Amino acid sequence: MTADFDTIVNLSKRRGFVFQSSEIYGGIRSAYDYGPLGAALLRNVKEAWWRSMVQQRGDVVGIDSAIIQARKVWQASGHEATFTDPLVECQNCHTRHRLDKLENPEQCPTCGKSGTFTEPKHFNLMFRTHTGPVESDDNMVYLRPETAQGIFINYENVRRTNRLQLPFGIAQVGKSFRNEITPGQFVFRTREFDQMEMEYFCRPEEAPKWFDYWRGERFNWYLDLGMKEENLRIRDHEQDELSHYSVQTVDIDYAFPWGWDELEGLANRTDYDLRAHSEASGQDLRYYDAVADERFFPYVIEPAAGATRATFAFLMDAYHSEEVAGDTRVVLKLDPRLAPYQVAVLPLSKKPELLGPATELADRLRKDFMLELDVTQSIGRRYRRQDEIGTPYAITYDFESLDDSAVTVRDRDTMAQDRVSLDRLTDYLSQRL
Ligand code: ATP
């Protein structure tokens, strides 16, 4: 059985994946804090992305740019003028909605009345603040609404210092901020979130080829990390849906409980951004091709994914419940690369003669694996607890271990148990994780 929305939200709170932010003060709407398990999962999602997009490729480098950038960046990129959503207010119940996300643009989803909306206003999604002690127009800045512009403004620095030749990519993972009109659906849409973006610079005539290439790569990334294919699809944007900078966009969608919704967007941003920053800054950001002796603006293919949103989707997708001997067993079948803990060490009893060596074993394995030492309650309950948070291997240290220097290793998915000698244990786990 797969999970419904409430089940995942409850599991997240109960087990410490995700908490309501500022909860002790009554909570702040649509802001979430990641607890120990959620932080580990989120971090693993970001690391898996970095590994496949940067580490394992010779043509992509990574950067980490500032969240607060010059206002001119957002004027040049077009965000100050056009990064808006159409906002309507219901004159009956005074709730505000994003017009383009309404199922029926005539009817208020809160009170059900029709024909009560105001004319749409274009609401800019960027958060504003000021640098320095005086608030004035001169020191007004935005928190970045995407990580991409940090890449474009560093394009020439990165290209030159790393001697990069087309085609090449620059990747970045980090926080973005959008003052969303209607955040919601747990961590799916929040005002502060993590993005994983890569700008792939290429010759203009090669852009369609690279677009197709990245569409395949990105779709396969989710599959490779265990997401079920039937829960994923690729959707082409209609012409009137395209962002101001894009000539072609597809979304990678996930089958969320409320229907298909976006996990990641893939856009052909053309030379829009480099050209705009060249014009606004006066710096020549064209690429010089020494062989052909020509200068031109590269085109850009951008896979833009949400890390927090993907984390939520991985959690939903991994949820599995089954009947085992008249009992319900809940398992998060997370890929071992994503699971918050890779290994649990469970001493059969809390008696010092077992707890001592089990703790030593845990300390030794911690050097190589993310691990939890779990000592309370019966062994069966502890197995279930580890299943529920997706720990791939649970190691039981029992009284026999004292004599045979071996432990029982239980596989989360098959529940099969192997007796493994302590001196082979690291190898055994490394081969499987
Ligand atoms: P939408 O139309 O749903 O508002 P978008 O198409 O503007 O989103 P992009 O600008 O393409 O989104 O952002 C790239 C990715 O960043 C999205 O696919 C999503 O995974 C993530 N993302 C965007 N906005 C949010 C948000 N408010 N909360 C969480 N993740 C987000």
DSSP type of residue 16: T
What is d(CA 285, CA 283) in angstroms, rounded to the nearest whole number?
A: 6
Average pLDDT value for residue range 307-319: 97
- Predicted confidence at residue 2, as pLDDT, reads 58
Give φ, ψ of 429 to 5 degrees.
Answer: -70, -40
- Predicted confidence at residue 242, as pLDDT, reads 78
What sign for the dihedral angle of Cα 227, 102, 78, 242? positive
- 47 to 129, 190, 222, 229, 246: CA distances (angstroms): 31, 21, 13, 22, 28
Is a pLDDT exceeding 60 seen at residue 118?
yes
Is a pLDDT exceeding 80 seen at residue 3?
no
Residue 302 zone, left/alpha/beta (φ > 0; ψ -120 to 50; rest):
beta
3-class secondary structure, 184 = strand
pTM, two decimal places:
0.94
- Predicted confidence at residue 244, as pLDDT, reads 75
Same CATH topology for 5-73+143-315 and 341-430: the answer is no
- 45 to 52, 149, 198, 232, 336: CA distances (angstroms): 11, 22, 15, 17, 11
Closest CA to 419 of 433, 405, 402: 405
Report pLDDT digits (tens) over 366-394. Answer: 999 999 999 999 999 999 999 999 999 99
Ligand 1 centre to CA of 302 (Å) is 13
Going by pLDDT thresholds of 50, 70 and 90, the confidence category of residue 239 is confident
**% of residues, the chain, pLDDT over 90:** 85
Residue nearest to atom 12 of ligand 1 (CA): 265
Closest ligand 1 atom, residue 261 Cα: 3
Secondary structure of 236-291 in HEC code, one letter for each residue: ECCHHHCCCCCCEEEEEEEEECCEEEEEEEEEEEECHHHHHHHHHHCCCCCEEECC
Ligand 1 centre to CA of 211 (Å) is 19
Lowest mean pLDDT among 37-51, 103-117, 192-206: 103-117
Report pLDDT digits (tens) over 150-192. Answer: 999 999 999 999 999 999 999 999 999 999 988 889 999 999 9
Going by pLDDT thresholds of 50, 70 and 90, the confidence category of residue 137 is confident
3-class secondary structure, 408 = strand
- Predicted confidence at residue 167, as pLDDT, reads 98
Is a pLDDT exceeding 80 seen at residue 197?
yes
| Residue 266 · residue 215 · CB < 8 Å | yes
CATH topology of domain 5-73+143-315: BirA Bifunctional Protein; domain 2 (3.30.930)
Closest ligand 1 atom, residue 178 Cα: 27
- Predicted confidence at residue 184, as pLDDT, reads 86
Contacts of 353 (CB under 8 A, 6+ apart): 402
Going by pLDDT thresholds of 50, 70 and 90, the confidence category of residue 101 is confident
User: Domain boundaries in the chain?
Assistant: 5-73+143-315, 341-430
- CATH number attached to the domain at 341-430: 3.40.50.800
- 419 to 296, 362, 400, 407, 416: CA distances (angstroms): 63, 17, 11, 6, 10
Ligand 1 centre to CA of 425 (Å) is 43
Is a pLDDT exceeding 70 seen at residue 361?
yes
- Predicted confidence at residue 278, as pLDDT, reads 98
Which residue ranges have their beta carbon within 6 Å of ligand 1? 146, 178, 180, 189-190, 193, 195, 262-265, 304-306, 308-309
Six token digits for residue 167: 């085609």
175-194: string of b/e by CB count within 10 Å (b at 16+)?
A: ebbbebbbbebbbbbbbbbb
Report pLDDT digits (tens) over 54-64. Answer: 999 999 999 99
Closest ligand 1 atom, residue 262 Cα: 18
CB-based burial label for 323 (10 Å; 0-12, 13-18, 19+):
exposed
Going by pLDDT thresholds of 50, 70 and 90, the confidence category of residue 241 is confident
> In the structure, how many helices (H) and strands (E) does the chain have?
13, 24
Is a pLDDT exceeding 70 seen at residue 245?
yes
Ligand 1 centre to CA of 306 (Å) is 6
- Amino acid found at 214: W
